[in-house]
Structure 1
Amino acid sequence: MKFKETGKQFHGQTGQSNKTNWLVSWASGTNECLRQSMQGIGANMLPIAAIAVMIEDKNGQRTAIPLSDAPYGFYKTSHLFCVLPLPIETPFNFHISGSFAVTQDRNQLSIETSDAKKHCEFSWNKAVMEDAVVQSLFSLLKGLKEKNIKPGIDLQLLWPVFNSYVEDIYKATKNGFIAELLSSNQKVIFQSDLNRWTEFSSCRMLDPQLSNSDVGNIAYKHALQYLKNQKIILIQMPDWLLADFKVVCGDSINDYVISTEMFYEKVFSHW
């Protein structure tokens, strides 16, 4: 017992155990990842991936929370897993497990080189990230809705998006997610101010010029209530995220943006 107590002190442990709750979703790729697997041109692995998010339960209200809130002994940043955890962090707020092609020492994913085998392995990893991972994430978001678990206050907490430089393989996940969000029209968007799940086709957002102005908060609150009566859901999307949407879908995203002129014409006149 004395040795154990010394060990706890050495490692900075209190002797208390920590318990966390997680929601995990598995899914198979449906596009490139599945194609490579069926044709045997990938890494000869299954086209599947899983997403895991940490869930907090307070007085019966369950909410997905950032990994940074994880207790002692748990990863506080997102990591990749391939059966066992890999020493590879991602810029997301969830863990990712998949049938990745990794280096012999398991320290990193296989990267693209002039070697034909390595090229195939890199192509496979990219396909897993932009296909199977995206499908798993959509499955998880739908699972949150079905289980009445709130995905947090920030719109993009569980989206594979980021406001910083990252490796191209994570950009593949981001672009695949945005494209699927726009095309599939699934109810995986949670508007926390309205406590409502919705699909992207029902969403609108204020022009950054208006939302970032001195009257931005007031404009948002009034537009939120006005548009709700029109069965339109107003969401708050950061400038950098809106720019990412424009990269993926081009100017068509402007159809979902309420300009300053449109706001004063349609919303302000009803105050």
Structure 2
Amino acid sequence: MTKEESKHDLLLLINILRWLYNSHISVDIDMHVPILCYKDPSKLAMKPIHECTYCDIKVEDLHDLLDDTSEPIILVHDDIPMKTAEWLNVPCLSTRLINPENLGFEQSGQREPLTVRIKNILEEYPSVADIFKELLQNADDASATECSFLIDMRKNIDIRENLLDPGMIICHGPSLWSFNNSTFSDTDFLNITRLGGSMKRCEADKVGKFGLGFNSVYHITDIPIIMSREFMIMFDPNINHISKHIRDRSNPGIKINWSKQQKRLRKFPNQFKPFINVFNCQLPLAQESPYKYDGTLFRLPFRTEQEASVSEISSVYYNTPDIYSLVDEFSICGHRLILFTQHVGSMVLKYLKYEEPNPAAAQDVVTINKSVWSSKAAYGPLSILKSAAKVMKKVAATNRVPADTPKSGCIIRIVNRRLTDEIGKRLGLVPCGGVAVLLSEEENRKWTVKANTNHTNPIGEVFCYLPLRIKTGLPVHINGCFAVTSNRKEIWKTDTKGHWNSVFMRHVIVQAYIAALNMLRSMAESGELLDYSYYVAWPDPSVVHDDFTVISQGVYQEIAKGGDGDHAKVFSDGKTWVSIKYVRFLDDSLLCRPDIGPAAFKIFLKYLKKSSSQDLCAVELPEWSSLRLTTRTQTLHLSKESQQLD
């Protein structure tokens, strides 16, 4: 066939295709169409539609791809209009190059449009600060020891051509990055696509249970990107950014494999250049080399005003002042986030100026490190949740409680109660909890208990390994496997879950509270704790919130049981530590009178020393405590008369 005949036939075939397109006549994917023969442009050749692709990008050199015999790329003839090629369902070259695996979101419960579902989740997680908390929780559940964030103000104006999709241009600017030093497992990749059906729900040693928290990232972005191991994931629920690569609207995400597609992915260097040097990410954009990212990296491009105008998820966009507010949020809440983490021991918030091209030069804005202070009274591992979960599995298998149940310092302790065991197994929870007492460091590694002396505004909050922003009225923080609502804003108060919380607080948190008081006593005895009043960390029943009175009542009930063991020695006159069995109080009717109270107490001490028992100890009991301190049958206030000297 001559060149003129080939040219004539090609024109005829293209006109036929245009007529089919204009007439909306459907065609089969096995239909043959003209293809490009770049070595001999005059040659006419044809291939089935499903073997072809059309060129949708500007690539300087396609020859290396077209000559690749292992995975040949066949382009439709460049005289076929792009609109016609798309109507024929010819795959685009960019999709063929990256060869993405399409990812969908698996929903549990009521079915609804994905964007509506995410929008509703955001209403359950109304605080932007939840982004830090949920990303930290995911890192801690993955056993990461570091979790850091970077506010990247670069606009990347000079690298906005040849992206994966023209829709990516708008989200190529300022971003929030998050890094942790643990890699995604295959299960993690699956979990992150599940809305409300996380596989972690059945894992007792994981804090995240609902598969909802990660979606808090949509507060600030419409297209989160995740890099871990050799995989990169992009989610586009609105289908506004990578629409050409999404074959089915029910699967609005793609997964790219950097171990298999390097040569082709390098055709889109501008898409991936922002990743270079962000938390040591070194994607192989220059040459072929084996690559796996040792960690997990999230890129969350801040939603722009243009994106917000068409987003079905959120109409909130982020300008520079809004982005700066995230620094304030992190500064305020960061230290609380890390308090009860099981693995993460350090958090850093970095800031990269818009004119700084190298992310490695980002400035540290907030640095938080959690170090184990090696007190003489400390014992046990601080990462207790996994140990506790193993014990619960052993109990379930053997129906016997091991003698060596794990304990850890003054913070957390596991208490075995069959009732909590059975409920916990059904709810996927572990009876493992603890308390934290705020200390202030003085000179020479000495400490004081930092407490509210007026008891009007106690610091205590509830943690489920991350803060729940629930005040308790206690002078300490409490932490544990509470049954919480899906948005982690409240603890359950009714039905089985509410019963678990009540029993959990009475039998686990109370025991941890007593253990904390004992550790404070040990520190005071060793000289590590200065100016310590034995009752400074006791709960004031008058200010404890109703939902947590079970804790204050339980603490006083345990104290009132007394006994001869060290665990019962929580009273002190500044020299000696004793249990309630050996403590004596002066009646309030005398002690509280300013005219005779001090003198009466001196006489009280004098006669107490002359008593037959040398083990007795006289102490002053604060009024707010004596109102609720109970024995098995009566209040301490009533029993004091029988304990006083004749």
The answer to whether 1:156 aligns with 2:535 is yes
The answer to whether 1:178 aligns with 2:559 is no
Give TM-score, length-normalised by structure 2: 0.33
Q: Is the 8 A contact 2:539 2:625 kept in 1?
A: no
1:73 alignment partner in structure 2: none
The answer to whether 1:134 aligns with 2:510 is yes
2:596 alignment partner in structure 1: 215
- Bigger mean CA offset, 212-221 vs 84-93: 212-221
Distance 2:517 2:636 in 1: 25
- Are the structure 2 counterparts of residues 208 and 84 from structure 1 closer, same or farther at C-alpha, using a change threshold of 3 Å? same
1:30-45 alignment, distance < 5 Å: 30=416, 34-40=417-423, 43-45=427-429
1:47 alignment partner in structure 2: 431
- Are the structure 2 counterparts of residues 108 and 248 from structure 1 closer, same or farther at C-alpha, using a change threshold of 3 Å? farther
Query: One-letter code of the match for 1:120?
Result: T
The answer to whether 1:29 aligns with 2:405 is no
TM-fit CA distance, 1:206: 1.3
The answer to whether 1:224 aligns with 2:600 is no
TM-fit CA distance, 1:251: 5.4
- Bigger mean CA offset, 150-159 vs 103-112: 150-159
1:143 alignment partner in structure 2: 519
SS of 2:585's equivalent in the other structure is strand
Query: One-letter code of the match for 1:104?
Result: S
Q: Is the 8 A contact 1:151 1:158 kept in 2?
A: no
1:245 alignment partner in structure 2: 629
TM-fit CA distance, 1:108: 1.0
Distance 1:212 1:253 in 2: 14
Distance 1:24 1:211 in 2: 33
Gaps in structure 2 of 5+ consecutive residues: 1-152, 154-320, 332-364, 374-408
Distance 2:505 2:449 in 1: 22
**Highest CA radius of gyration, 1 or 2?**
2
SS of 2:627's equivalent in the other structure is helix
How many residues are paired up? 239
- Bigger mean CA offset, 19-28 vs 157-166: 19-28
Query: One-letter code of the match for 1:177?
Result: V
Q: Is the 8 A contact 1:178 1:248 kept in 2?
A: no
Distance 1:101 1:66 in 2: 28
Q: Is the 8 A contact 1:179 1:249 kept in 2?
A: no
Q: Is the 8 A contact 2:544 2:552 kept in 1?
A: no
Gaps in structure 1 of 5+ consecutive residues: 69-75, 113-118, 267-271
- Are the structure 2 counterparts of residues 256 and 150 from structure 1 closer, same or farther at C-alpha, using a change threshold of 3 Å? farther
Q: Deviations over 1:159-206 (max 9, x none)?
A: 233323621x32111121122112253344242x43332211111111
Query: One-letter code of the match for 1:145?
Result: R
Distance 2:476 2:466 in 1: 16
SS of 1:40's equivalent in the other structure is helix
Q: Is the 8 A contact 1:175 1:248 kept in 2?
A: no
Distance 1:153 1:258 in 2: 28
TM-fit CA distance, 1:58: 2.3
RMSD value over aligned CA atoms? 3.6
TM-fit CA distance, 1:241: 2.4
SS of 1:175's equivalent in the other structure is helix
TM-fit CA distance, 1:248: 6.3
1:62 alignment partner in structure 2: 447
Distance 2:509 2:414 in 1: 8
Q: Is the 8 A contact 2:464 2:479 kept in 1?
A: yes
Distance 2:548 2:586 in 1: 27
Distance 1:152 1:200 in 2: 22
The answer to whether 1:166 aligns with 2:545 is yes
Distance 1:226 1:88 in 2: 48
1:110 alignment partner in structure 2: 492
Among all aligned residue pairs of Structure 1 and Structure 2, give the percentage whose two residues are the same amino acid: 21
